[in-house]
């Protein structure tokens, strides 16, 4: 859909304006092991369904595919047209690729980094949706609004270098997985702060989720997702908001916590914004009220899905951070709330904005907010509708926003001959300045 494309554009432009640096973990020299990335580009996992269901691959992210890294099955052997997906046996492309060449960008080191923040603006993140799991380790946490994470015995590292408690070079939800304040106590017969395989409740990065129990645990998890086929409570950023989101934090320590407390600990103008902002409610909890809502969490994973973790697919900017900004109940909303969300994104220094919101009305406030974000160096990719019509929406109306449409296969699967047809789920018109993979 065009919404997926616009997310892609924001990250693609980030790659153009941000120089690559060494990643915290080396990018795999072989294709990522994520099962949803390229199962149809490997002879060992290729099935006849690949000919009819190319959606099994993230083909819109592919550049030219090498026969050595992506071996096609017999009798295909070599990639069609010198680099197209194995199943596209009748297709051709002047650049020999089906997508926008994220694989080529990754190979050059453009995989993102911690200081590249992408504000995702929509109906709120849903930490009880299975679709969020692949993004969890890349959800932005604001150190300025958090106490130092603690070990199970209540000790911590010295502030201000205390937040990377697990020593992996990143600050994320896993640094709090031993902290008694945000994890539950152990049920009878379960060992405290001990891996599941040894009779405890500790499990890190299982289908993207982490959880634990400790003898002095004080908090029951708020969210649950399916993990290995079982509905499982786990540690999410919303747990940090519930426990610390009403507290005064001073040099990594809790000063006081008051019911309904609002403390702007980092001085950015937004009290206790631990994991983004809810512009719709003017508070620090961007979680949706609709526990069945899966659109926003799915696009979080599309943006920053963790690579090479043996689960799901790969995010477009797999070492970047996503900041949830809730502007309404869903992908439709009030223009004033959307503009307030954009001001927040600019104020915290995001690099890019991906918004899939269609506003009910248009106002000068929106353009003023866009101008403000533009003046702060923010790249903005906004929803340009997903109907085959001239019904242009937000992304095609405002100065400084970058509008576009989707390119797609002309037919389906093995019958396709061309990957650059205009998708029939996107708007059309003279305002488009780019096209990309659907």
Residue 222 and residue 283 in one domain:
no
Tens digits of residue pLDDT in 211-241: 999 999 999 999 999 999 999 999 999 999 9
| pLDDT greater than 80 at residue 406 | no
Q: Tell me, what CATH number does 362's domain have?
A: 3.40.50.200
Residue 162 and residue 240 in one domain:
yes
Which of 274, 293, 313 is the C-terminal boundary of a domain? Answer: 274
Residue 188 and residue 241 in one domain:
yes
Residue 283 and residue 338 in one domain:
yes
Q: What is the pTM of this model?
A: 0.93
User: How many angstroms separate the CA atoms of 315 and 302, rounded?
Assistant: 5
> Is there a domain that residue 2 lies in?
no
Percentage of the residues of the chain whose pLDDT score is greater than 90: 72
Peptide bond into 160 cis (omega under 30): yes
Residue 145 and residue 186 in one domain:
yes
Tens digits of residue pLDDT in 328-357: 988 888 999 999 999 999 999 999 999 988
> Is there a domain that residue 19 lies in?
no
> Is there a domain that residue 59 lies in?
yes
pLDDT on residue 16: 45
Residue 390 and residue 410 in one domain:
no
> Is there a domain that residue 23 lies in?
no
> Is there a domain that residue 163 lies in?
yes
Residue 294 and residue 226 in one domain:
no
Range of 12-21, 168-177, 395-404, 408-417 with top mean pLDDT: 168-177
Residue 281 and residue 398 in one domain:
yes
Closest listed residue to residue 150, CA positions, set 126, 173, 169, 177: 177
CA distances 417 to 41, 67, 92, 175, Å, are 18, 20, 6, 48
Looking at the DSSP assignment, which residues form a beta bridge with residue 232?
Answer: 225
> Is there a domain that residue 358 lies in?
yes
Which of 274, 309, 338 is the C-terminal boundary of a domain? Answer: 274
Residue 298 and residue 244 in one domain:
no
User: How many angstroms separate the CA atoms of 359 and 116, rounded?
Assistant: 27
> Is there a domain that residue 3 lies in?
no
Tens digits of residue pLDDT in 256-297: 999 999 999 999 999 999 999 999 999 999 999 999 999 999
Residue 23 CA, chain-centre distance (Å), reads 17
User: How many angstroms separate the CA atoms of 266 and 294, rounded?
Assistant: 31
CA distances 281 to 123, 326, 364, 375, Å, are 12, 9, 22, 26
Residue 132 and residue 209 in one domain:
no
Residue 239 and residue 342 in one domain:
no
Residue 267 and residue 150 in one domain:
yes
Which of 227, 258, 274 is the C-terminal boundary of a domain? Answer: 274
pLDDT on residue 287: 96
> Is there a domain that residue 21 lies in?
no
Structural domain of 305: 9-14+109-139+276-402
Burial class (CB in 10 A: 0-12, 13-18, 19+), 86: buried
- The number of domains in the chain is 3
């Amino acid at each position: 859909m065009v919404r997926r494309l616009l997310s892609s554009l924001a990250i693609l432009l980030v790659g153009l304006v941000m120089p690559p640096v060494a990643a915290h973990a080396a990018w795999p020299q072989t294709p990522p092991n994520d099962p949803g990335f390229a199962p149809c580009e490997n002879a060992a996992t290729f099935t006849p369904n690949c000919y009819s269901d190319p959606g099994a691959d993230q083909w819109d992210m592919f550049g030219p595919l090498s026969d050595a890294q992506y071996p096609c099955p017999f009798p295909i052997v070599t990639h069609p047209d010198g680099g197209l997906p194995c199943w596209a046996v009748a297709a051709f492309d002047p650049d020999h690729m089906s997508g926008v060449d994220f694989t080529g960008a990754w190979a050059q080191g453009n995989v993102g980094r911690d200081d590249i923040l992408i504000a995702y603006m929509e109906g709120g993140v849903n930490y009880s949706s299975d679709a969020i799991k692949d993004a969890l380790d890349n959800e932005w946490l604001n150190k300025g609004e958090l106490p130092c994470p603690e070990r199970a015995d209540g000790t911590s590292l010295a502030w201000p270098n205390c937040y990377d408690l697990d020593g992996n070079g990143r600050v994320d939800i896993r640094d709090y997985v031993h902290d008694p304040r945000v994890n539950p106590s152990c049920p009878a017969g379960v060992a405290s702060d001990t891996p599941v395989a040894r009779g405890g409740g500790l499990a890190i990065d299982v289908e993207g989720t982490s959880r634990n129990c400790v003898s002095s645990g004080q908090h029951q998890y708020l969210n649950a997702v399916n993990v290995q086929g079982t509905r499982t409570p786990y540690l999410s950023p919303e747990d940090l908001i519930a426990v610390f989101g009403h507290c005064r934090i001073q040099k990594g320590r809790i000063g006081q916590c008051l019911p309904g407390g609002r403390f702007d600990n980092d001085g950015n103008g937004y009290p206790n914004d631990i994991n983004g902002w809810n512009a719709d409610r003017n508070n620090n909890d961007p979680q949706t009220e609709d526990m069945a809502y899966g659109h926003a969490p799915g696009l979080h994973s599309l943006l920053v899905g963790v690579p090479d973790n043996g689960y799901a697919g790969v995010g477009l900017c797999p070492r970047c951070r996503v900041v949830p900004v809730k502007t309404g109940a869903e992908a439709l909303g009030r223009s004033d709330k959307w503009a307030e969300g954009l001001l927040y994104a600019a104020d915290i220094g995001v690099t890019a904005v991906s918004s899939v919101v269609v506003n009910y009305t248009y106002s000068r406030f929106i353009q003023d907010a866009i101008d403000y974000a533009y003046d702060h160096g923010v790249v903005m990719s906004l929803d340009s509708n997903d109907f085959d019509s001239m019904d242009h929406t937000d992304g095609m109306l405002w100065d400084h926003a970058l509008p576009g449409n989707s390119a797609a296969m002309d037919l389906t699967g093995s019958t396709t001959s061309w990957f650059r047809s205009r998708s029939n789920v996107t708007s059309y018109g003279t305002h488009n300045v780019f096209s990309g993979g659907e």
